[in-house]
């Protein structure tokens, strides 16, 4: 059970001007009388908010959820509790939020597995339309990592080696429906490499086997891979972001290698049940944007390998729609 956040530092909430700015950014308040808007949002939240994280404690999604929970407490004076509901490729936690009342008191800290699994797995008990995007928290690029025993030093050499040796390379599969696995499969399809996938229960196990030389390559977050690059235990060949990262400036992008279609970031954001009133969505959008775009939050995100993002609610939905369109072209419903 999470303890309440300390009460020695308390900000009573955002000003009406800040809230209206958040609503405008979300594109949600047009047509609502100002008094009605203020009325609906003014008393929210008046009881604890639950933030469901559909992954185990300790991972990036969990840490982001706790940062947001602390921010809600600090800005709005109401406790927010992180609830971990891992399992079934994030579908257990997502289903809980999809079926929750549309009052803004149950939120989901989502990664791509949420919307991807809603369309590729027939056993999913929810549709993505059961949610509404609230705010994009950040983007996390992946890095192509290889064991240094492999006779390649650049991404171009790796692609050439893979094409010349069909079926010889092995890679780690971190789980069905995850952005890591789908990005890796997309990479193989795009480059024409035939490789053998080894299934793992999570990315941590796959990374350990990559370091040990039991598999040849893997896609993982930069924050977990970077220490291995620095020690020489792994070699980073390319990242999936649109530009090089300040934390790893020597690693080129796949775009630089001639594959602009492989600019793929893992998106992290807050989703709410579809029927949450627009004023509450706008208030949450403004609050989360504020707390996640401070200097302290930016430093913590950088440590996690997450790039800060600030966009409208409509912009977040557009990014999810583009993500879904990409993965529909890669996988078929099962």
Whether residue 244 is contained in a domain is answered as yes
Please state, as a whole number, how many other Cβ atoms lie within 10 Å of the Cβ of residue 313.
25
Q: Which tens digits make up the pLDDT trace of 210-233?
A: 999 999 999 998 988 999 999 999
Question: Is residue 309 over pLDDT 60?
Answer: yes
Separation of alpha carbons 188 and 301, rounded Å:
29
Mean pLDDT score, 88-100: 90
Q: Which tens digits make up the pLDDT trace of 16-42?
A: 444 444 444 444 444 444 455 456 678
3-class DSSP state of 90: helix
- Residues 132 and 180 reside in one and the same domain: no
- Residues 127 and 43 reside in one and the same domain: yes
- Residues 136 and 33 reside in one and the same domain: yes
Whether residue 333 is contained in a domain is answered as no
- Residues 115 and 218 reside in one and the same domain: no
Q: Which tens digits make up the pLDDT trace of 169-210?
A: 999 987 666 778 888 989 999 999 999 999 887 788 899 999
- Residues 291 and 194 reside in one and the same domain: no
pLDDT at 315: 95
Q: Which tens digits make up the pLDDT trace of 228-253?
A: 999 999 999 999 999 999 999 999 99
Whether residue 169 is contained in a domain is answered as yes
Judging by beta carbons within 10 Å of its beta carbon (0-12, 13-18, 19+), is residue 263 exposed, middle or buried? middle
Whether residue 130 is contained in a domain is answered as yes
Separation of alpha carbons 263 and 131, rounded Å:
26
Number of domains in the chain: 2
Query: pLDDT grade, residue 330 (50/70/90)?
Result: confident
Among 206, 229, 262, the domain-final residue is: 262
pLDDT at 37: 47
Please state, as a whole number, how many other Cβ atoms lie within 10 Å of the Cβ of residue 112.
25
- Residues 315 and 279 reside in one and the same domain: yes
- Residues 68 and 204 reside in one and the same domain: no
Residue with the larger pLDDT of the pair 120 and 134 = 134
Whether residue 180 is contained in a domain is answered as yes
Range of the domain at 174: 141-262
Mean pLDDT of the chain: 85
pLDDT at 87: 82
Mean pLDDT score, 296-302: 92
pLDDT at 66: 96
Output the CA–CA distances (angstroms, integers) from residue 252 to 111, 142, 237, 300, in the order listed.
Answer: 25, 12, 7, 24
Q: What element of type H or E holds 136?
A: strand 131-146
Residue 136 forms beta bridges with which residues? 269
Separation of alpha carbons 11 and 80, rounded Å:
15
> Which string of b and e fits 162-187 if b means at least 16 CB within 10 Å?
beeeeeebbbbbbbbbbbbbbbbbbb
Question: Is residue 284 over pLDDT 90?
Answer: yes
- Residues 229 and 294 reside in one and the same domain: no
Lowest mean pLDDT across 29-38, 249-258, 308-317: 29-38
Q: At 71, which CATH number? A: 3.40.190.150
Separation of alpha carbons 323 and 186, rounded Å:
12
CA-only gyration radius of the chain, Å: 21
- Residues 151 and 242 reside in one and the same domain: yes
- Residues 136 and 285 reside in one and the same domain: yes
Question: Is residue 162 over pLDDT 60?
Answer: yes
Angular region, 283: left φ>0, alpha ψ -120 to 50, beta rest: alpha
Contact 14, 286 (CB under 8 A): yes
Separation of alpha carbons 94 and 58, rounded Å:
18
Among 214, 238, 262, the domain-final residue is: 262
Query: pLDDT grade, residue 5 (50/70/90)?
Result: very low
- Residues 22 and 130 reside in one and the same domain: yes
Question: Is residue 92 over pLDDT 50?
Answer: yes
Whether residue 278 is contained in a domain is answered as yes
Whether residue 5 is contained in a domain is answered as no
Among 214, 232, 262, the domain-final residue is: 262
Whether residue 2 is contained in a domain is answered as no
- Residues 68 and 87 reside in one and the same domain: yes
């Amino acid at each position: 059970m999470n303890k309440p956040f300390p009460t020695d530092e308390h900000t009573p909430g955002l000003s009406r001007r800040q809230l209206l700015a958040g609503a405008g950014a979300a594109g949600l308040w047009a047509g609502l009388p100002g008094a009605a808007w203020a009325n609906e949002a003014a008393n929210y939240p008046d009881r604890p908010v639950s933030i469901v994280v559909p992954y185990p404690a300790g991972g990036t999604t969990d840490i982001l959820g706790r940062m947001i929970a602390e921010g809600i407490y600090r800005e709005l004076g109401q406790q927010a509790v992180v609830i971990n509901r891992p399992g079934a490729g994030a579908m257990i936690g997502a289903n809980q939020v999809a079926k929750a009342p549309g009052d803004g008191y149950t939120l989901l800290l989502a990664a791509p597995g949420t919307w991807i699994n809603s369309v590729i797995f027939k056993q999913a008990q929810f549709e993505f339309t059961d949610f509404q995007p609230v705010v994009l928290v950040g983007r996390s690029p992946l890095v192509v990592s290889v064991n240094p025993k492999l006779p390649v030093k650049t991404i171009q050499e790796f692609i050439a080696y893979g094409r010349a040796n069909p079926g010889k390379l092995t890679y780690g599969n971190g789980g069905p429906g995850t952005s890591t696995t789908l990005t890796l499969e997309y990479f193989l399809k795009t480059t024409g490499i035939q490789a053998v996938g080894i299934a793992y229960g999570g990315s941590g196990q796959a990374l350990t086997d990559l370091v040990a030389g039991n598999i040849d390559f893997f896609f993982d977050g930069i924050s977990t891979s970077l220490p291995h690059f620095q020690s020489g235990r792994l070699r980073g060949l390319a990242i999936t972001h649109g530009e090089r990262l300040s934390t790893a400036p020597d690693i080129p992008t796949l775009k630089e290698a001639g594959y602009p279609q492989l600019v793929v970031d893992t998106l992290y954001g807050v989703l709410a049940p579809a029927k949450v009133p627009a004023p509450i969505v706008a208030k949450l959008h403004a609050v989360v944007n504020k707390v996640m775009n401070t200097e302290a939050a930016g430093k913590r995100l950088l440590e996690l390998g997450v790039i800060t993002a600030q966009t409208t609610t409509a912009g977040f939905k557009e990014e999810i729609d583009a993500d879904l369109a990409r993965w529909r072209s890669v996988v078929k419903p099962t």
